[in-house]
Chains A and B, each alone.
Chain A
Amino acid sequence: MTTTPQASLPAQTLTLNQRAAKVRRRLSNPWASGIAIVLAILWTLPTLGLLITSFRTQTDINASGWWTVFGKIFTGDANFTLENYDTALHGSTTNLAQFFVNSIVITLPSVVIPISIALLAAYAFAWIDFPGRDWLFVAVFALQVVPIQVTMIPLLRAYVSWGIGGSFWSVWLSHSIFALPLAIFLLHNFMKDIPRSLVEAATMDGAGHVKIFFRVVFPLMVPAIAAFGIFQFLWVWNDLLVALVFVGGRPDVAPLTVRVAELSGTRGGQWHLLSAGAFISMVVPLIVFVSLQRYFVRGLLAGSVKG
């Protein structure tokens, strides 16, 4: 900024810092921080236990709890092994590697399809005037009140009668259907935040709706798309219900979650593999979330609060 007078700069930053400190003091509170830390520890503890258990031998798992390893590390009695992971991934009866691939095949289209459709719908709702627009928008959002459990039997019957029962298509379509109302709503809010004059300027510059969408709106929507993409990715990857209902009996199609749920077996014979299986299914969402959580937080907030 060349127009800002240099002399006033230090004074300005000082007051800004002071104000920031004031806000920080008001927002932070030792009690609140303490409670947050306790909650975080409580929340993470089971996962830690799961992680430790997954590296223990079958006999240890059956004999004692995971917390006993801390004592045994000191006495030198602790046994750790990668065998659980090996069996879970490559064992002839478990073979999670195959299901891992299934999960990826299910998840990617289930993220891409609803986002593509929702982007187009959100653009129309935000920038194209058509009769009944507001009513239609309310109707789309109101679809959220329909619980997905209610829709499952009718959907399954429909898929079977269309001849796509038990295929990847049935999961892709279901996830897309369930995601669309929220996706349209969120992306629409983001699009509404783009100044109208920007779209008008593009109109004046000779761009039609298609060019405005791809050249102007889409690049500005990337953070929102990323945020919703992560959201949807985690949801689909961790989903058990939808997959179980539509492709539950198909080992060539079913995702990890379905297999992990069955892992302990009806007789509980492979109990020791459960923790390793759970970790295999957690690792991808963990990576996605940790690496992209910046987008996630910013994206979810940006839609609601004007900054």
Chain B
Amino acid sequence: MATVTFDHATRVYPGTERPAVDQLNLHIEDGEFLVLVGPSGCGKSTSLRMLAGLEDVNGGRILIGDRDVTDVQPKDRDIAMVFQNYALYPHMSVADNMGFALKIAGTPKAEIRQRVEEAAKILDLTEYLDRKPKALSGGQRQRVAMGRAIVRQPQVFLMDEPLSNLDAKLRVQTRTQIASLQRRLGVTTVYVTHDQTEALTMGDRIAVLKGGLLQQVGTPREMYDTPANVFVAGFIGSPAMNLGTFEVKDGAAQVGSAQIPLERNVIAGMTEADGGKLTVGFRPESLDVVPAGTPGSFQVETNLVEELGSDAFLYGSLKGGVVGELSAGDSDQLIVRIDPRNVPMKGEVINVAIKAGQAHVFSAATGNRLS
């Protein structure tokens, strides 16, 4: 078991100007499950591959425990990796796949067999040990890939989007299995995904990257409740947070017809570059449907309602005096969580108000959190 530390780790691909990973500083505790998440091309896989030793480190250091492994060969780092496409050896049986690393290391046959069988038991693979990978289903292949990592009993597990090749149902199921397995084994794990739901459900802590830069690190709760900037706010959470840029008048943001009072230190944090505007974010569930005319409420015209059974989400547009744009995730609409038993019709206008203390305020110019 060991900690993992990225110390100003930088990777610049040959022939490119901009670093794929720029001065990454990250400390992962012993036994922790850290999820690297971000949109594609954000450098999360590159970071993982740098830790694995498959990618050169052009600047900074990477430490496993107290050992500087920046220039250490992958095989000497005592880490195991699960690949997105599993990378099982097609010509070897499941048992040989799982025992390959031990065989290379010269472990006695009896011990290999024993450790492979133990891992197979944990993963429910015992009856498949003599099969070739091509005779397995996607989920079973994924488990073999996990098994190959477990058998080695490494200091760190690296997982590169191990669930992205599974169908939706199996993905949810395997997600919990991996998370509980990791808790049980207590091995430090770095997990890469582009799916924020996976990140929130699995990670002890989450690190969000964008354009090679680390945006924020924290527990899932911290990431959800206090996103450090507009990007993290929009990325974490499903459905996405409503984000809009609004004018500030008399110490309050003008959201539609409503005025969202701002704290004094928020106003003080505004700079000239903001041009008298602020970005305000509020999650779909932070909105209450209120009677018309309630102070601090604004009107939303219903465009579409998505019913999920337990919840319903209303997609609508903001009515009246809109300044700047309001959007949530990929859509340019406002999302409101509403009571699924009381759903407005398309075109109907409802009044909503932001729950007290649940508005997130960001600088319009830099996107950094002000409140």
Residues of A that sit less than 8 Å from B by CB: 1-3, 195, 197-198, 200-208, 211, 215-216, 219-220
Contacts and interface: CB of A to CB of B under 8 A. Distances in A.
A207 B53 CA distance: 13
Interface stretch (B76-84, B302-310, B352-360): B76-84
A3 B137 contact: yes
A266 to B, nearest CB: 55
Contacts of B79: 204
B13 interface: no
12 contacts: A1-B137, A197-B85, A198-B87, A198-B89, A201-B88, A201-B148, A202-B89, A204-B52, A204-B74, A205-B100, A205-B101, A206-B101
A1 B105 CA distance: 34
Contacts of B104: 205-207, 211, 215
Contact of A200 (B87, B139, B148, B152): B87
Given A3-B167, A206-B104, A206-B105, A197 B83 contact: yes
Interface in B149-164: 152
Interface in B72-121: 74-75, 79-81, 83-85, 87-91, 100-101, 104-105
A6 to B, nearest CB: 14
Given A3-B138, A205-B101, A219-B91, A200 B54 contact: yes
Nearest to B82: A201
B109 to A, nearest CB: 16
B74 to A, nearest CB: 5
Given A197-B83, A204-B75, A204-B80, A3 B170 contact: yes
B81 A204 contact: yes
Nearest to A1: B137
Nearest to A194: B90
B85 A216 contact: no
B91 A220 contact: yes
A179 to B, nearest CB: 26
Contacts of A198: 87, 89
A266 B90 CA distance: 58
Nearest to A218: B91
Given A195-B87, A197-B87, A201-B83, A206 B138 contact: no
Interface of B: 52-54, 74-75, 79-81, 83-85, 87-91, 100-101, 104-105, 137-139, 148, 152, 167, 170
B139 A3 contact: yes
A201 B75 contact: no
A212 to B, nearest CB: 10
B87 A203 contact: no
B253 to A, nearest CB: 49
Contacts of A200: 52, 54, 81, 83, 87
Given A1-B137, A200-B87, A204-B52, 14 more contacts: A2-B137, A3-B137, A3-B138, A3-B170, A200-B52, A203-B54, A204-B74, A204-B101, A205-B75, A205-B101, A206-B104, A206-B105, A215-B104, A216-B89
Contacts of A215: 100, 104
* Nearest 4 A/B pairs, CB to CB: A205-B101, A206-B75, A201-B87, A197-B87
Contact of A203 (B75, B90, B139): B75
Nearest to B90: A220
A40 B256 CA distance: 81
Contacts of B148: 201, 205
Contacts of B167: 3
Contacts of A203: 53-54, 74-75
Contacts of A202: 89, 100
Contact of A195 (B85, B91, B152): B85
Nearest to A2: B137
Contacts of B170: 3
B137 A201 contact: no
Nearest to B85: A197
B75 A207 contact: yes
A215 B83 CA distance: 19
A109 B366 CA distance: 70
B15 to A, nearest CB: 13
A218 to B, nearest CB: 9
B56 to A, nearest CB: 10
Contacts of A206: 75, 101, 104-105
Nearest to B138: A3
Contacts of B138: 3
A220 B170 CA distance: 30
A195 B91 CA distance: 14
Nearest to A220: B91
B304 to A, nearest CB: 31
Contacts of B80: 204
A215 B52 CA distance: 21
Contacts of B152: 205
